[in-house]
């Protein structure tokens, strides 16, 4: 039952505008590929490892084609010819190219490859592993107790994967239900995926396939001990968005931060590059049944949460449509928002609750990700703990899904395990005390909460109509989101965008889409 009685026609208009915005971008995406998309295809063909200089083999092969041949044909063109002619596996082809014993240049002038079927056995081996991981997750969740309150999400970020595991296990034993391994600062700007287990990182731990495997193994062990499935989160964003989505699917990550808008605005990644990458990564994520987390909450760290709340809602609408273009089910759309209004504003809690309720009612089937107060945390840990308590109340009252716990030491230091324990105790107490509170209350139709929701929705509708008219690229150039301007030909990674050749082939994308149209991914 709606408690806000929002204007459904206005919501539908917002969705139509967002769909038109996404369609404009999709028309561009469909004509292009990127170096990272092609590298992810190699990974899904089973290519792995590094050369003697520590460069991933997938980078070696794609750079070879891009610099010396024609990548617009797609990597499958070259690999299918090579595997057919030489009777080598894609991994063996990559090793031969790396050792400079093989050049793929001659295939540049060959006709459209008739040998794609030769790659099927290699794709099937990797996809079988992804299928097994998806089904294992599904069975495990079905066989463990269900809950109706938000899932408690905490972060580990030591830089050392082995220390991260210790902290993650301790958090799970204290009540955490989702563990996010924060990625090392700056990794989003690396145009390659580091290899192996890592023990050094600034502000977080490198996202690598081995690190994913190690953390997944540890969480599986503690899940068995606690008799509940603990979910794992990392980042499928930045210049290697589709590649990290691929290794996340292989190693059974459950959620991945996956949002081009965040990369464009806060990491200055070229918008053309990252929107193409996002599409492939989301199609793959949809196939693997991985929940995405989007980054609208970050807008409010650089722009005022009270005045610019409508930009968050507008972005949620756009991200929803981008996800639908990638065949994602609504149950996988972890749209983001945050509790970031200045606490000095009178009735700030009512405004925060209005935003949370509005998001919940507009996106009823989405596993919304609700972020804690950070911008207005001062270092006063006692006040900070109260701010987090109010945030926790808003989360439970408005039935949020993914509840990232706030730390009372925000703005002081990376949380200690004791800080995390305090945050979990706070959230667990409120979860119990307020469990059915949201079902017990109604809102004054003429009151602050309802009127605030009406206002934000109306402004989001106006903004979406404006973006529909101007196009998303021009809107981002104006700095509409988060007050940060980006140019469509600026930022990192534009040189990795390639217009597809008439003979371009990517059998994987067709396979994923056909599978999801049949409901295979659910």
Helix (H, G, I), strand (E, B) or coil at 235: strand
Determine how β-strand 333-334 pairs with β-strand 336-338.
Answer: unpaired
CA distance 182 to 233: 9
Average pLDDT score over residue span 492-513: 95
The whole-angstrom separation of Cα 180 and Cα 232 is 6
User: In the predicted model, what is the mean pLDDT of residues 19-28?
Assistant: 98
15, 58, 132, 248, 310 from 129: Cα distances, Å? 36, 20, 5, 12, 41
Question: Using one digit for the tens of pLDDT, what is the confidence trace for 92-142?
Answer: 999 999 999 999 999 999 999 999 999 999 999 999 999 999 999 999 999
Choosing from 131, 272, 297, 351, the catalytic residue is 297
d(CA 375, CA 153) in angstroms, rounded, equals 19
- Tell me the C-alpha distance between 273 and 189, whole Å: 12
Interval 15-44 mean pLDDT = 98
Looking only at the bridges linking them, the beta strands covering 255-257 and 231-235 are: parallel
369 in catalytic set: yes
Residues 264, 476: Cα–Cα separation, whole Å: 8
Confidence of residue 146 (pLDDT cuts 50, 70, 90): confident
Give the other-Cβ count within 10 Å of 147's Cβ. Answer: 11
Mean pLDDT for 52-59 is 97
- What confidence tens digit (pLDDT) does each residue in 249-277 have? 999 999 999 999 999 999 999 999 999 99
pLDDT at 522: 47
According to the model, what pLDDT value does residue 517 have?
Answer: 81
> Residue 292 and residue 256: Cα distance in Å, rounded?
5
- Indicate the pTM of the whole model: 0.96
CA–centroid distance for 454 within its chain: 29
| Catalytic hit among 122, 206, 262, 443 | 262
pLDDT at 406 over 60: yes
Strands (E), 290-343: 291-293, 333-334, 336-338
Q: Tell whether the model's pLDDT for residue 519 goes beyond 70.
A: no
65, 54, 141: which is closest to 106 by C-alpha? 65
514 flagged as catalytic: no
CA dist., res. 454 & res. 458, Å (int):
6
Q: Is 432 a catalytic residue?
A: no
CATH fold, domain 147-451, is: TIM Barrel (3.20.20)
Burial class (CB in 10 A: 0-12, 13-18, 19+), 507: middle
Tokens of 177: 């239900």
| Chain centre to alpha carbon of residue 416 | 26
What percent of the chain clears pLDDT 90, i.e. is strictly above it?
Answer: 95
Find the mean pLDDT for residues 381-400.
97
DSSP letter assigned to residue 269: B
What is the pairing mode between strands 151-156 and 32-34?
unpaired
pLDDT digits (tens, 9 = 90+) for 335-388: 999 999 999 999 999 999 999 999 999 999 999 999 999 999 999 999 999 999
Q: Of 369, 443, 468, 504, which one is the catalytic site residue?
A: 369
Q: Where are the domains of the chain?
A: 32-123, 147-451
Residue 304 tokens, joined: 């005022």
Contact of 29 with 509, CB cutoff 8 Å:
no
DSSP helix/strand/coil, 58:
helix
């Amino acid at each position: 039952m709606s408690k806000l009685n929002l204007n459904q026609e206005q919501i539908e208009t917002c969705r139509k505008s967002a769909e038109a915005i996404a369609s404009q971008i999709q028309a561009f995406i469909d004509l292009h590929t990127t170096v990272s998309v092609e590298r992810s295809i190699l990974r899904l063909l089973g290519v792995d490892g590094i050369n003697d200089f520590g460069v991933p083999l997938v980078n070696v092969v794609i750079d070879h084609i891009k610099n010396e041949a024609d990548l617009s044909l797609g990597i499958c063109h070259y690999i299918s010819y090579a595997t057919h002619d030489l009777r080598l596996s894609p991994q063996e082809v990559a090793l031969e190219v790396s050792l400079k014993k093989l050049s793929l240049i001659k295939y540049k002038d060959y006709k459209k490859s008739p040998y794609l079927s030769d790659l099927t056995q290699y794709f099937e081996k990797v996809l079988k592993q992804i299928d097994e991981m998806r089904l294992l997750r599904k069975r495990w969740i079905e066989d463990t107790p269900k809950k109706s309150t938000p899932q408690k999400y905490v972060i580990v970020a030591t830089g050392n994967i082995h220390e991260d595991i210790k902290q993650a296990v301790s958090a799970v034993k204290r009540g955490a239900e989702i563990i996010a391994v924060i990625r090392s600062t700056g990794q989003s700007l690396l145009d390659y995926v580091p290899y192996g287990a890592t023990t050094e990182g600034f502000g977080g731990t490198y996202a690598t396939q081995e690190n994913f495997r190690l953390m997944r193994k540890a969480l599986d062990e503690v899940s068995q001990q606690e008799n509940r499935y603990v979910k794992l989160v990392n980042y499928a964003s930045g210049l290697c968005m589709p590649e990290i989505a691929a290794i996340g699917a292989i190693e059974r990550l459950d959620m991945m931060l996956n949002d081009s808008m965040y990369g464009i605005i806060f990491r200055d990644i070229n918008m053309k590059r990252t929107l193409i990458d996002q599409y492939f990564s989301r199609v793959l994520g949809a196939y693997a049944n991985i929940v995405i987390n989007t980054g609208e909450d970050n807008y409010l760290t650089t722009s005022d949460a009270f005045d610019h709340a409508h930009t968050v809602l507008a972005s949620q609408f756009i991200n929803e449509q981008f996800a639908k273009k990638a065949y994602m089910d609504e149950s996988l759309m972890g749209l983001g928002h945050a509790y970031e209004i200045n606490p000095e504003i009178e009735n700030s809690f009512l405004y925060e609750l209005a935003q949370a309720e509005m998001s919940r009612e507009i996106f009823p089937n989405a596993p919304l990700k609700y972020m804690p107060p950070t911008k207005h945390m001062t270092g006063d840990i006692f006040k900070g703990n109260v701010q987090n308590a109010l945030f926790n109340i808003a989360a439970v009252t408005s039935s949020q899904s993914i509840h990232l716990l706030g730390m009372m030491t925000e703005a002081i230091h990376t949380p200690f395990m004791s800080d995390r324990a305090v945050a979990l105790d706070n959230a667990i107490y409120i979860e119990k005390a307020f469990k059915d509170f949201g079902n017990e209350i109604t809102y004054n139709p003429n009151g602050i909460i309802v009127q605030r929701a009406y206002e934000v929705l109306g402004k989001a509708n106006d903004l979406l109509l404006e973006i529909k008219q101007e196009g998303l690229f021009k809107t981002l150039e104006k700095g509409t989101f988060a007050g940060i301007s980006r140019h469509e030909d600026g930022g990192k990674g534009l040189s990795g965008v390639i217009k597809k050749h008439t003979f371009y082939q990517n059998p994987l994308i067709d396979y994923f889409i056909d599978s999801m149209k049949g409901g295979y991914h659910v």
